[in-house]
Structure 1
Amino acid sequence: MTLMLLAVVAAASIFPAQGDVAAVLKIVTMVMIGVLFFLHGAKLSSAAIIAGATHWRLHLLVLLCTFALFPVLALLFKPAILLLLTPELYLGILFLCLLPSTVQSSIAFTAAARGNVPAAVCSASVSSLLGIVLTPLLVSVAMPASSGAGASLDSVLMIVYQLLLPFIAGQIARRWIGGWVDRHKSLVRGVDQGSILLVVFSAFSAAVVEGLWSRVPPAMLGNLILVCILLLAVVMLVVTWLARRFGFSKPDEITIVFCGSKKSLATGIPLAHVLIPAASISMVVLPLMLFHQIQLIVCAVIAGRYARRPVEPADDV
């Protein structure tokens, strides 16, 4: 996926979509995003959510880390970040801090590290669902009006039509197509990745036409990578400390670390498509794209370290 993202950015930089092609691409992208959330609705098991929902302390801590700790850090360190990044890129950092957690990779890393997988399924799924509502609200509160971002009535309706209704339709249709979707997980993954690649290509095409790469020189890109690494490091340290401070078992700690420190590219790209003005979307999603790749690399290393620990009775979750 990292290589495909790089290829799409390169293609958009050399052959940006313009005019009628860009208009058609926008329609195709909206359809793909709707199909994506329909399939996610059909894939998500209500039983898995109910099974993990009783662990409320764990879920509350994950949600607080996702929707409170991240935004507080972004706002607290704003003066320092602005020494390294432009105001537009800082808005991208702030936007990624307002997003929900990932679903697939959070669960995958939790399983690889021998964590509490049922709780991870519940926590990551609830975070993703709440993000459809909470992220637009947080964007309206935290991001300045001058940025043009926010949850206007039109953007709220767009989220309902493009994300929420397809998801609900998928949940309703699960009783008929759930088994088929479970047997064809590669289809969901393909639509997931395809919709992200389409939105990224569309966003970067528009930005390249407006001179994106003249506004983000190599030195600035290096600063952005550094900020993303530092943000992830601080969050993971705080989340791990909180999990241990409140006495969670090691499997629960693993779930909290992986669900509470990650941000969703799959949800963030469609939300940016709705909430962020077209002229600014590429600068906003660039930090998210970089942070997503960094979190995958770091979490893979940490999952391996957790997995090598001795087996304990608490691991039998």
Structure 2
Amino acid sequence: MKLFRVLDPFTLTLIAVVLLASFFPARGSFVPFIEGLTTAAIALLFFMHGAKLSREAIIAGGCHWRLHLWVMCSTFILFPILGVLFAWWAPVNVDPALYTGFLYLCILPATVQSAIAFTSLAGGNVAAAVCSASASSLLGIFVSPLLVGLLMNMHGAEGNLEQVGKICLQLLLPFVLGHLSRPWTGDFVARNKKWIGKTDQTSILLVVYSAFGEAVVNGIWHKVGIGSLLFIALVSIVLLAIVIAVNTFAARKFGFNKADEITIVFCGSKKSLANGIPMANILFPTSVIGMMVLPLMIFHQIQLMVCAVMARRYKRETEKLAQEETRAAKA
């Protein structure tokens, strides 16, 4: 009972979705329906954020170069360094492909939808999160294959223009359309802020169900033993904890405010399953893809669970800070 009091309702819902995907994953004709529903939820999320944010907020978010610089350093420098050191250390005798998989995980770009959704849920700088996460995903299409060639001795890694177009179509276009619709939709969105919160949570739940269900259908969990799974989970937790700690320390050390700290933590600690799986299919032989992406799959689930708890805690902190500022203004 104490565990259920510690976990917030959204985290419990996430666990329920994981269990649902484990026993009842999407199959057959239900798969395109779930994929379409997830795409629609993400597009609606970005449309609503575009309608919510003023032109001044977007410009301020895009011009926040110090924040974007640190997020890029965390994604494409800090993570790869940790991955290289861990693969070199190799403390446990497991399949070498798992160490290579962790290195591959560390050179991937950040997620977009979940980073922005958690930033919004926690009360962070959404405008900066949209710019930073989108830039990370777009750059990653070119930077990550280059890092694969540099750090993993792979060749033929090239940027995929189709993925660039897909990102622009599914994420940036709804955001732009939502922002252009502000004269008609801005007041409605402002009056119904809970809708945005529900859209954030729904998009995260759909991504979790789709990603976890696909892993179950592909039988990935039957290819390794329980010991290897526990090893991957433990390393993922440690890796995520190190990156979150470094990002939190850097945000406070460099004088970022609470909203920017939230954005840095959630945008700088994520790795994209949506980008990682298609990229692995291009870069690696089919025979090793399963083991290569297993650390990414488990890390992806853990980062969602951990960030759900952190988002709720940050939300309480930001609400408390806002109340204190309101009382101080009235005094």
Both proteins in one fold, TM over 0.5: yes
Distance (whole Å) between structure 2 residues aligned to residue 192 and residue 62 of structure 1 = 21
Distance (whole Å) between structure 2 residues aligned to residue 39 and residue 282 of structure 1 = 33
Q: What is the deviation of 1:169?
A: 1.3
Aligned to 1:165: 173
C-alpha offsets along residues 4-46 of structure 1, whole Å, 9 cap, x if unaligned?
2322222222222222222333333333332232222222333
Distance (whole Å) between structure 1 residues aligned to residue 14 and residue 27 of structure 2 = 20
- 1:126 partner amino acid: C
Distance (whole Å) between structure 2 residues aligned to residue 302 and residue 35 of structure 1 = 24
Native 8 Å contact 1:13 1:208 kept in 2:
yes
Distance (whole Å) between structure 1 residues aligned to residue 53 and residue 120 of structure 2 = 13
Change in 2 beyond 3 A, CA 1:298/1:201: closer
Native 8 Å contact 1:150 1:276 kept in 2:
no
Native 8 Å contact 2:45 2:196 kept in 1:
yes
- TM-score, normalising length from structure 2? 0.69
Secondary structure in structure 1 of the residue aligned to 2:266: coil
Aligned to 2:131: 126
Native 8 Å contact 1:71 1:97 kept in 2:
no
Aligned to 2:18: 9
**Structure 1 residue 230 and structure 2 residue 238: aligned?**
yes
Native 8 Å contact 2:247 2:265 kept in 1:
yes
Decide which of 151, 154, 161 is 2:162's aligned counterpart: 154
Change in 2 beyond 3 A, CA 1:192/1:66: same
Decide which of 131, 135, 141 is 1:136's aligned counterpart: 141
Q: What is the deviation of 1:287?
A: 0.8
70-79 or 4-13: bigger deviation: 70-79
Decide which of 32, 35, 38 is 2:41's aligned counterpart: 32
Aligned to 1:290: 302
Native 8 Å contact 1:97 1:263 kept in 2:
no
Distance (whole Å) between structure 1 residues aligned to residue 268 and residue 139 of structure 2 = 14
C-alpha offsets along residues 221-267 of structure 1, whole Å, 9 cap, x if unaligned?
4323322332233334434554576xx44xx2655654333348999
- 1:137 partner amino acid: F
- 1:205 partner amino acid: G
- 1:102 partner amino acid: A
Secondary structure in structure 2 of the residue aligned to 1:77: helix
- The alignment of Structure 1 onto Structure 2 pairs a total of residues equal to 299
Native 8 Å contact 1:43 1:174 kept in 2:
yes
Change in 2 beyond 3 A, CA 1:210/1:148: farther
Q: What is the deviation of 1:293?
A: 2.2
Native 8 Å contact 1:137 1:151 kept in 2:
yes
Native 8 Å contact 2:121 2:200 kept in 1:
no
**Structure 1 residue 212 and structure 2 residue 220: aligned?**
yes
Distance (whole Å) between structure 2 residues aligned to residue 301 and residue 207 of structure 1 = 30
Aligned to 2:4: none
Native 8 Å contact 2:47 2:174 kept in 1:
yes
Change in 2 beyond 3 A, CA 1:296/1:216: farther
Superposed CA RMSD? 4.3
- 1:176 partner amino acid: W
Distance (whole Å) between structure 2 residues aligned to residue 195 and residue 305 of structure 1 = 24
- TM-score, normalising length from structure 1? 0.71
**Uncovered stretches (5+) of structure 1, i.e. residues with no partner:** 112-116
Counterpart mapping for 1:236-275 below 5 A: 236-239=244-247, 242=250, 248-249=254-255, 252=256, 254=258, 257-263=261-267, 268=272, 271=275
Q: What is the deviation of 1:91?
A: 5.9
Aligned to 2:206: 198
Change in 2 beyond 3 A, CA 1:178/1:87: farther
Distance (whole Å) between structure 2 residues aligned to residue 77 and residue 128 of structure 1 = 26
